[in-house]
Amino acid sequence: MDQAATRLSLPDAPREFGFFMNGEWVPAGDRDVFERASPGHGVPVTRIPTCTKEDLDAAVAAARRAFDDRRWSGLSGADRAAVLLKAAEGIRARADEIAYWETLENGKPIAQARAEVGGCVGMFEYASGLARSLHGDSFNNLGDGMFGVVTREPIGVVGIITPWNFPFLILCERVPYILAAGCTIVAKPSEFTSATSLILAEILHDAGLPAGVMNVIPGTGPVVGQAMAEHTGIDMLSFTGSTRTGRGLLTAAGSNFKKLGLELGGKNPQIVFADADLEDAADGVAFGIGFNTGQCCVSGSRLIVERAVADEFAAMVAEKFKKVRVGDPLDETTQVGAITTDAQNAAIMGYIRQGKAEGARLIHGGEQLDFGRGQYIAPTLFGDVTGDMSIAREEIFGPVLTVMPFDTVDEAIGIANDTDYGLAASVWTKNIDKALTVTRRVQAGRFWVNTTLSGGPELPIGGFKQSGWGREAGIYGVEEYTQVKSVHIEIGKRTPWVE
């Protein structure tokens, strides 16, 4: 096929958006407008209003009215499920459009963006079933005079703050579950990647979601995000982003003791034993750090490999890195796209310099790739890494993999757990005892055996240690957005307190 035929074109002009509140689009008016340039091409692609604290107040008020008058929570689970299923259809119908704008704002490959959008359809479909099956409990064992019921009630108005690495996917790992629970939403996407969150609000509206249930307020973290954390009209906040920002939210959320869901950073180990299928493992390890340019909270950024095969295995991974197709995100064949923000590009290159300065050995990559426009970094592999180096300890959030050897199972587990984080981990081995021992003892909210980065709507997401609180997705994800009420029901005549 000729190359041009496999590459989408850039838009002729940036797409103008308003923001979405109380069931309608609100134009930018006299607000500042953020013009986003595509990180893969350096040309403006979207223009999005920068909302203010007053806009946030109006959105929270709309979400509060929509919650309090029970226009959503008062519906049956079946009726809520019908809207979620219609939204799934709406996402499917607009999948190409969503993937296109996601790619333009984020820099990820178009084929990957399409796959992510397909996964989001599944989130809505799965959560629709949960809207119908969510239930409480009953206690029929309290004696003849008492019956106990435990109900699950929606927690209320939920704020969602999302980052720029998976703008649509991360939102869809939350929104359908929150809606299934009966809550209303005010979402703030990253200012760099707001387009697809706004499109989702429109899709939900078109699917019949009542006005005010889903509001999207684009704006900056320090203004709108901070105000959301402090807002007394928000009952729960789901935040995805850096551990640093997440820590700051703990204090802000104290304003009304709002419940916090936090999905934060990771420094995730990939443990490879000599008995693994090394070809599969090398491919998985390359994928685990190359996917989304390593800008994933669950990227497998620390390769911990049995010493007997360490050099051979590092060479196999380097060989995979050489073959990975890095390039224009709009090219259908690209596997690794652009670095999403200028700040992130600078941060990754800073870590690469630091790694060299600290004495790590650069095995592959380590440089910016020049395609004439946009910002790209080659998949990078460091050997001779020690546990005290910053590249081994800090979340780089880029395509940078460090290699550390081990001799025993205990040592592998020790290295894996030697981090403040606990988001995800993988083990590669054909030995069931080793696989289970490592799975049990490594501290991580998500664990993969002979695979990595797998996921889906059924299994929950979240971290141990400083990687966060709570779980998203699966039945656990819906339950997070409910609160439990105990109901004691007396049967028959009361035993009097006052005779």
Binding residues vs ligand NDP (CB under 6 A): 161-165, 188, 190-191, 220-222, 225-226, 229, 240-242, 245, 248, 264-265, 297, 344, 347, 395, 397
Residue among 75 and 252 whose Cβ is closer to ligand NDP: 252
Residue among 221 and 355 whose Cβ is closer to ligand NDP: 221
Residue among 85 and 195 whose Cβ is closer to ligand NDP: 195
Query: What is the pairing mode between strands 421-422 and 464-465?
Result: antiparallel
Q: Tell me the residue number closest to ligand NDP, measured at CB.
A: 221
* Catalytic residue list contains 297: yes
Tokens of 266: 């990771």
Residue among 328 and 395 whose Cβ is closer to ligand NDP: 395
* Catalytic residue list contains 458: no
Q: Which of 263, 395, 472, 480 is catalytic?
A: 263
Least distance to ligand NDP, CB of residue 170, Å: 7
Least distance to ligand NDP, CB of residue 229, Å: 5
Residue among 251 and 486 whose Cβ is closer to ligand NDP: 251
Tokens 């028959």 belong to 492
Least distance to ligand NDP, CB of residue 404, Å: 20
Residue among 191 and 479 whose Cβ is closer to ligand NDP: 191
Least distance to ligand NDP, CB of residue 235, Å: 17
Residue among 228 and 304 whose Cβ is closer to ligand NDP: 228
Least distance to ligand NDP, CB of residue 111, Å: 21
3-state secondary structure the chain: CCHHHHECCCCCCCEECCEEECCEEECCCCCCEEEEECCCCCCEEEEEECCCHHHHHHHHHHHHHHHHCCCCCCCCHHHHHHHHHHHHHHHHHCHHHHHHHHHHHHCCCHHHHHHHHHHHHHHHHHHHHHHHHCCCEEECCCCCCEEEEEEEEECCEEEEECCCCCHHHHHHCCHHHHHHHCCEEEEECCCCCCHHHHHHHHHHHHCCCCCCCEEECCCCHHHHHHHHHHCCCCCEEEEECCHHHHHHHHHHHHHCCCEEEEECCCCEEEEECCCCCHHHHHHHHHHHHHHHHHCCCCCEEEEEEEHHHHHHHHHHHHHHHHHCCECCCCECCCCECCCCCHHHHHHHHHHHHHHHHCCCEEEECCCEECCCCCCEECCEEEECCCCCCHHHHCCCCCCEEEEEEECCHHHHHHHHHCCCEECEEEEECCCHHHHHHHHHHCCCCEEEECCCCCCCCCCCECCEECCEECCECHHHHHHHCEEEEEEEEECCCCCCCCC
Phi, psi angle pair for 464, to nearest 5° = -90, 170
Q: Which of 297, 306, 395, 479 is catalytic?
A: 297
Residue among 208 and 222 whose Cβ is closer to ligand NDP: 222
CA dist., res. 363 & res. 358, Å (int): 15
Least distance to ligand NDP, CB of residue 55, Å: 14
Least distance to ligand NDP, CB of residue 387, Å: 19
Least distance to ligand NDP, CB of residue 426, Å: 17
Q: Which residues are known catalytic residues?
A: 263, 297
